Amino acid sequence: MSRPLRVAMLTHSTLPRGGVVHAMSLSEALEDLGVETVLHAPDSAARGFFRKPRCAAIGFPVEPARRETAEMVEQRVDDYVRWFRRPENRGFDLYHAHDGIGANALATLKEEGSIPAFVRTVHHIDDFSDPRLVAQQTRSILAADALMVVSALWREDLIKRFGREADVGGNGVDTCRYSPHVDGSEAELRQRLGLGTGPVFLSVGGVEARKNTTRILQAFAEIHRARPDARLVIAGGASLLDHHAYQAAFGRELTALGEGASAVSLLGPVADPDMPALYRLAHALVFASVKEGFGLCVLEAMASGTPVVVSRIAPFVDYLDPSDALWCDPADSSSIAGAMRQSLRPDVASSLRARGPVVAARFGWRGVAERHLPVYRRLREPVHA
């Protein structure tokens, strides 16, 4: 290449959601490989990204999001189209969207002749009931010049449902940032969150149907009856989708616990500097999702030496061996509780704490970035022959 490849990376939010973390970490790794990468996101709060990335980043100003999901998505698509219609905001060789919002905007811009080509990473496919959202999701996949996925599960799904091939980019973890080495911040964070001295079960992703949070709560209730000192911490939840109905049902389940409800902490999005210590202080990560693209926080927990409870479904069964985690049936709260109970055994916990960092070391962001380069080059060559 006569000059560095320039890539515009698009994500839907500046908040710490799995797809946003992936887009940021990928951008940083591409920069390390000599690809000039600029991360973009709409930023209605004008606060910037949840952490300062090691690459150029633009949180461009937009109005607060509309409440209704389809209207909000259309609003954010229009925001992206307006931003990149300005010639001074373009000048990239490729554009890479990590969700349907960015991809629909890029599809429009490509139709107008404003951009040359775009890539879309499909982290997972949602089951929308609103036909507008279904149409937008479909367009975001069919209009892309190339597709990337984070796991083989979604490559197979794209072939089956849309007849589209995709390259598996995978996922990574920063093992310097997430490590089992305690630094004293764990005790301070435990005290600040009022978690007591008993075992802490951590759930990441907020209260959502896809994250199976209600069954995790039911499983914890079983544990809490035998271990009143146990705590359940639910972190995250920075989602653009509407989860109010599910969250209301979860709230009723929580209230039904009576005094036991005080053992559950709903933290919401956690400050980025606190996340490594939160993983380390946790006795186990409980990630009993019913659907995942990959499950980035599983790698973060394992790199931190924290045992993980995961659903016995793809993609987890594709990249974890049977001895790497504690497995559960996500449709059965008693199965989830059984895996959580197993993590309380000192021998089991010790084995998994030793195993986790070894597994996580296989998943570096540099490798993820390197798997993107052939796709980028393939799309760039016809434009710069």
- Block means of pLDDT (10 residues each) for the chain, 385 residues, are 86 91 97 97 95 97 92 97 97 96 98 96 92 97 98 95 97 96 96 96 94 97 96 84 84 91 93 96 97 94 98 96 98 98 98 97 97 95 47
213-226 vs 333-343: helix axis angle to the nearest 10?
50
Q: Which residues pair with 311 in a beta bridge?
A: 328
Distances (CA, A) of 24 to 10, 108, 168, 176: 9, 24, 18, 16
Q: What is the pLDDT of residue 239?
A: 66
Between β-strands 264-268 and 231-235, what pairing exists: parallel, antiparallel or unpaired? parallel
In the chain, which ranges are continuous DSSP H helix? 18-32, 69-85, 100-112, 131-142, 152-162, 185-192, 213-226, 244-256, 275-281, 296-303, 316-319, 333-343, 346-360, 365-380
Q: What is the pLDDT of residue 237?
A: 74
Q: What is the pLDDT of residue 16?
A: 87
Q: What is the pLDDT of residue 384?
A: 38
Q: How many angstroms separate the CA atoms of 148 and 99, rounded?
A: 11
Q: How many CA atoms lie within 13 A of 232 on its CB side?
A: 31
Sequence-distant (≥ 6) Cβ neighbours of residue 203 within 8 angstroms: 211, 213, 216, 232, 233, 234, 235, 285, 286, 287
Question: Contact at 8 Å (CB) between 20 and 41?
Answer: yes
The single-letter code of the amino acid at 11 is T
Q: What is the pLDDT of residue 18?
A: 86
Rounded-to-10 torsion of CA 127, 130, 134, 137: -80
Q: What is the pLDDT of residue 279?
A: 98
Q: How many angstroms separate the CA atoms of 12 and 137, rounded?
A: 14
Q: What is the pLDDT of residue 2?
A: 63
Type and span of the H or E element at 202: strand 200-204
- For residue 135, report the phi and psi dihedrals to the nearest 5 degrees: -65, -40
Q: What is the pLDDT of residue 383?
A: 43
Q: What is the pLDDT of residue 380?
A: 85
Q: How many CA atoms lie within 13 A of 43 on its CB side?
A: 18
Q: How many angstroms separate the CA atoms of 305 and 142, rounded?
A: 40
Q: How many angstroms separate the CA atoms of 252 and 267, rounded?
A: 18
Question: Contact at 8 Å (CB) between 204 and 287?
Answer: yes
In this structure, what token pair is assigned to residue 202? 């951590």
Q: What are the structural domains of the chain?
A: 6-172+364-379 (3.40.50.2000), 185-360 (3.40.50.2000)
Block residue for tokens 């659907």? 291
Nearest to 282 by CA among 157, 360, 217, 189: 189
CB neighbour burial string for 324-359, b if at least 16 within 10 angstroms, e if fewer: bbbbbbbeebebbbbbbbbbbeeebbeebbebbbeb
